[in-house]
Amino acid sequence: MRSLIIGAAGFVGAYLIRHLHQELGHQTAVTKLPHEQIRPECCDLDIYNLDILDADAVFRLLQKVHPDYIFHLAAQSSVAAAWKNPGITVDINVHGVVNVLEAVRKLEFRTRILLVGSGEEYGLVQPDEIPVSEENRICPGNIYAATKACQNMLGKIYARAYGLEVIMVRAFNHIGPNQEPLFVVADFCRQVAWIEAGRQDAHMHVGNLEVKRDFTDVRDVVRAYAMLAESGESGETYNVGSGSAVSIAHILQMILNKSEANIMVETDPSRLRPVDLPVIEANIYKLQKITGWKPLIGLEQTVEETLDYWRQRAKADR
């Protein structure tokens, strides 16, 4: 099997490379932006520079690689950055995906394309809609979410109108070592590691601890992506999450329990969002029915390994 991961230099890309290339034995080609580096470094990985905004370059690359599967991860993936730069977010997340779909259409390939969207697409979910299923109405509440909802619609249209093999996922919060500390678990682990190493005073800054979110280890997430690329139905959307929401307070306590340091938790008003949904939880019936997927790595293990990762960074970055 020949797989192409577009946007492989990010958080998820490293884990997807490991899974496809090292565990499933796919012949794997990956793309990155010129300034980025691909990890892990495997000698027989085909690495290409690609800006998905360059339609001709996307076409030429696909023509050359002719993959059985495309995993489209390339994105402007930050909600905060999308508010600051809406134009470029729309370009990358919408125009970029059109470039990929158009290239496959023009080449008349039977490539199966997995488009990675987000649980954010659902937006304001009512309490009686939890756990949220794929049929729920979508009501994106921010620019990032709107671009991912648009990507989803485009994928569906290319599948229906042109018969392309396109599978869409809506990924909920995924976590693990190596994630940017823009995301809550990585941020908490980094702060604890920094306090332990004497690089931050004993005050830990937190936002709203009451909200509940659906967290999945990134290694389980990439297994679900590979299974869906293989057996997902074209034109369909699948939630990828654990199916069970936990409060941020619970995660914080889990992390604090793993530390001997004397830490004082402080609410930082700048971390509170104007609109915070009380609970986001995925209904994963559709994913499980078609793939039999189950998360294998528990929250406790992910948190432990993420904290270890940041403890090592606290030493190494000195």
- In the region spanning residues 102 to 131, those forming contacts with ligand A2R, defined by CB under 6 A, are 116, 118
If one asks whether residue 245 binds ligand A2R (CB under 6 A), the answer comes out as no
If one asks whether residue 61 binds ligand A2R (CB under 6 A), the answer comes out as no
Residue (6 or 245) nearer to ligand A2R, CB: 6
If one asks whether residue 10 binds ligand A2R (CB under 6 A), the answer comes out as yes
Longest CA–CA separation in the chain, Å: 61
Give me the least distance between CB of 75 and ligand A2R, in Å please.
Answer: 3
**Residue from the set 4, 5, 11, 185 that interacts with ligand A2R by CB under 6 A:** 11
**Residue from the set 5, 20, 30, 52 that interacts with ligand A2R by CB under 6 A:** 52
**Residue from the set 58, 70, 92, 280 that interacts with ligand A2R by CB under 6 A:** 92
Give me the least distance between CB of 134 and ligand A2R, in Å please.
Answer: 16
Asked whether 183 and 173 are in contact (CB, 8 A), the reply is yes
If one asks whether residue 96 binds ligand A2R (CB under 6 A), the answer comes out as yes
In the numeric block, the tokens 């199966």 are attached to 112
Give me the least distance between CB of 182 and ligand A2R, in Å please.
Answer: 10
**Residue from the set 27, 42, 48, 51 that interacts with ligand A2R by CB under 6 A:** 51
Q: Which residues partner with 3 through β-bridges?
A: 28, 69
What is the spatial distance between Cα 245 and Cα 67, in angstroms, rounded to a whole number? 36
Element (H, E) at 302: helix 299-316
What is the spatial distance between Cα 170 and Cα 26, in angstroms, rounded to a whole number? 24
Q: What is the CA radius of gyration of the chain?
A: 20
The DSSP annotation for 36-96 comes to ---SS--TT-EEEE--TT-HHHHHHHHHHH--SEEEE--S---HHHHHH-HHHHHIIIIIH
Give me the least distance between CB of 9 and ligand A2R, in Å please.
Answer: 4
Q: Which residues contact 149 (CB under 8 A, 6 or more apart)?
A: 117, 121, 138, 140
How many residues bind ligand A2R (CB under 6 A)? The answer is 22
Binding site for ligand A2R (CB under 6 A): 7, 9-13, 33, 36, 50-53, 73-77, 92, 96, 116, 118, 171
